[in-house]
Amino acid sequence: MPNKSVLCLFITCFLLYFIGLESFPSIDPAEAYYVEAAREMVELNNWIVPYLNYQVYFSKPIITFWLIAASYKLFGISELASRLPFALLSTAMIFSIYHCVARIYSQRAGLFSALCLATAPLFLLVSRISPVDIAFGFFLELSILATAMTLENKGKHWSYIIWAALALGLLTKGPATLVLYGASVVLFLFWRRPSLYQSEEWLKQLNVIPGLLLFLAIAIPWHWAVHQASNGLFLKVFFLYENFARFSGHTNMGKMSWWFYIPVLLAGFLPWMVCTPFCFIDYFRKKEVAMQLFLSFIATTFVIFSLSGTKLITYILPVIPMLSIIVGVFLDRWLIKPADYGKDVTTILIALGFASIACFTGVYYALPKVAVPDLFKWMIIIASIIAGATFAIALWKFLKKSLDREKFINLYFGAQVAYLAVLCPVSFYIFGNKMQLDLKTVSIKASSMTNRISLFGEFMPSAIFYAKKPVNCFFNLDQIKAQNSAPDNSTYTGEQLLIVKDKDLKRLSTIPGLKLETVMDSGDWHLYKTPGYMVTCVPTLEDVFKDPIVFNDLITKGSPVGPLTVPASAGRAYNPHN
């Protein structure tokens, strides 16, 4: 069983996370921030202070940039190299869940849990690009798993993994790692209410003193180095503006409802989300150490992010691995003692079957309305029909008792993986190119010219990635000025190139005297020269944050023009002679 399980998971991860990673451009904004910042790390040879658009990028700590930059050094700068570290981390997350759940519960529970995670739509979506959330989720999940392994006495070295994972999580996304882990432990202790003797034993197992020393040895060096390199500005901005002000909602313009993550989880953990109500009811009746810890993590993480003033879909990703464990263990226990669960699991499986059939039917009817090549369209349609029919037949046979429970679940997982192995690479190729290929094309053309580059209407870091030079993204028409009346605040000379999308052309036409000379058109995106006109840059984020009065207003009141979390203006670190 273990060898077959490992082989099954290797095949699953290869099919779902590695095939077609190079087949679509970098996606704005989800991953392009990080792939470009890592490219600049390599170009500038600065491995301490992150840069984006050639100015200091205060948004995240260093681990994500190190991972991508290291991949660039090994394999060259490309879309594949930027995504490979995260496909590997996703695979590591799946295998860590398999190993730990197998040790605490059973091999089959470990396999089921790992497959639930591997096929969860939100996890799968994020794993195929290069955002910070996969690395953050991996280290946070590893700290919780290692805590469970330590408390369950499954190995004496797991306590050190807790401290190392927390330190690496801190280097990936900052104090959110410690807040989420700490909150889940507090709720677990309140729920568990261990005796004094048990508490003392757990403290011994956790190796607190050597663990803290390990944590500090990993976490402090980079924090000290970036503090020195930026004269203290980086950590001040990151901790106060990017964390405190973000949580309080002062770094975003829109306000999301407290229930924002309910539909996100319903869609992001389909079809397995239909199992969770039954799982929660079952586990609340039992007093199991590891399961109480997992449930505590789910509850506190959901509540903390729901209370946050800033909400993004990917923030809730760390909940998905723990939900997968809950479902995987539940299915395994049902196979062992079906009588203990009565008709509950039959209801679950019927709901799973109909949820999957509904998803495949929706894809079948929706896809023909999307303008994609017929070959790819029919690949997905045929896969949807086959998968839907497989689930329908398997469910019918199961209800007729001509297919036993374990074969039904194995068939369900197998069909799900096979279907997603077709859907994922094809969908990413179709929609990734549809969204980004035209911008990539004009940006590459701009990279071959000596002109300074501006982009109107949006901040698109992928344009910087493909242009391989600063791109001054601007939003106000009064930034376009006649060259004889505007100060040249660029760091290099040359004519002005302008990248603009169809939807923003009408606004540009209102500028008196502005002539746009076409260099290239590609779909909705255009590359122009603007003879006699230039785009002036707004102050860099570093210059803004250095003003103590402005900084205090940003922390307490926010910004009237939106979040100051992206370096839209071209920075000064660019050297065209490199």
Tens of pLDDT, residues 429-479:
888 888 899 999 999 999 998 878 999 988 899 999 999 999 999 888 888
Q: What's the pLDDT at 343?
A: 56
Lowest mean pLDDT among 342-346, 366-370, 480-484, 555-559: 366-370
What pairing do the DSSP bridges indicate for beta strands 480-482 and 471-474?
unpaired
Average pLDDT score over the chain:
84
Percent above pLDDT 90 for the chain: 45
What are the structure tokens assigned to 197, written together? 């003797």
Task: State the Cα–Cα distance between residues 210 and 203, nearest whole angstrom.
Answer: 12
Q: How far is CA 345 from the centre of its chain?
A: 32
Q: pLDDT value at position 487?
A: 56
Q: Which tops the pLDDT comparison, 53 or 554?
A: 53
Q: Which pLDDT score, from 0 to 100, does residue 149 have? A: 96
- What pLDDT is attached to residue 556? 61
The tens digit of pLDDT for each residue in 86-104 reads: 999 999 999 999 999 999 9
Q: Regarding predicted confidence, which is higher, 205 or 397?
A: 205
What's the burial of 172, exposed, middle or buried (CB within 10 Å: 0-12/13-18/19+)? buried
Please choose, from the candidates 11, 55, 60, the residue with its C-alpha nearest in 3D space to the C-alpha of residue 31: 60
Region 28-49: mean pLDDT is: 93
Name the residue among 406, 426, 404 with its Cα closest to residue 414.
406
What is the pLDDT at residue 451?
Answer: 79
Could you tell me the pLDDT band of residue 357, with boundaries at 50, 70 and 90? low
Reply yes or no on whether the pLDDT at 252 is more than 60: no
CA pair distance 534, 483, nearest whole angstrom:
6
Q: Measure CA 150 to chain center.
A: 28
End-to-end CA distance of the chain: 55
pLDDT of residue 577: 65
Q: Answer for the pair 155, 145: CB distance below 8 angstroms, yes or no.
A: no
- Find the length of the chain: 578
pLDDT confidence tier of residue 44, bands split at 50, 70 and 90: very high
Residue 12: its pLDDT value, please? Answer: 95
Helix (H, G, I), strand (E, B) or coil at 486: coil
Beta-carbon contacts of 156 under 8 Å, excluding residues fewer than 6 positions away, are 205
pLDDT tens per residue across span 322-331:
999 999 998 8
Closest CA to 370 of 445, 307, 426, 332: 426
For the record, the structure tokens of 430 come out as 């179709």
**Position 395 pLDDT exceeds 90:** no
Residue 493 confidence class, pLDDT cut points 50, 70, 90? very low
Mean pLDDT value of segment 245-258? 57
pLDDT of res. 270: 80
Q: What pLDDT is recorded for position 72?
A: 98
| 562 has a pLDDT exceeding 50 | no
Confidence class for position 19, pLDDT limits 50, 70, 90: very high
Contact 112, 327 (CB under 8 A): yes
Indicate whether 267 pLDDT > 90. Answer: no
pLDDT for res 300 = 96
**Using an 8 Å Cβ cutoff, are 61 and 235 in contact?**
no
Residues 142-181 pLDDT 10s:
999 999 999 998 877 899 999 999 999 999 998 999 999 9
pLDDT given at position 475: 87
Region class of 510: left (phi > 0), else alpha (psi between -120 and 50), else beta:
alpha
Q: How does pLDDT run across 504-524, given as a tens digit for each residue?
A: 988 888 888 888 999 999 999
CA distance 476 to 24: 31
Element housing 423 (H / E): helix 405-447
Domain ranges for the chain: 2-432, 440-556
Residue 489 has pLDDT above 50, yes or no: no
Q: What is the dihedral of CA 333, 337, 342, 348, to 10 degrees?
A: 30
* Number of other CB atoms surrounding residue 1 within 10 Å: 11
User: Residue 424 to residues 113, 370, 417, 484: CA-CA distances in angstroms?
Assistant: 21, 16, 10, 52
Give dist(CA 265, CA 273) in Å, integer.
Answer: 8
Burial of 437 (0-12, 13-18, 19+ CB in 10 A): middle
- Token pair 């019927």: residue: 350
CB contact set of 420 (below 8 Å; sequence gap of 6+): 15, 16, 119, 124
Q: Each residue of 65-79: pLDDT tens digit?
A: 999 999 999 999 999
Q: What is the mean pLDDT of residues 373-397?
A: 72
3-state secondary structure 297-363: HHHHHHHHHHHCCCCCHHHHCCHHHHHHHHHHHHHHHHHHCHHHCCCHHHHHHHHHHHHHHHHHHHH
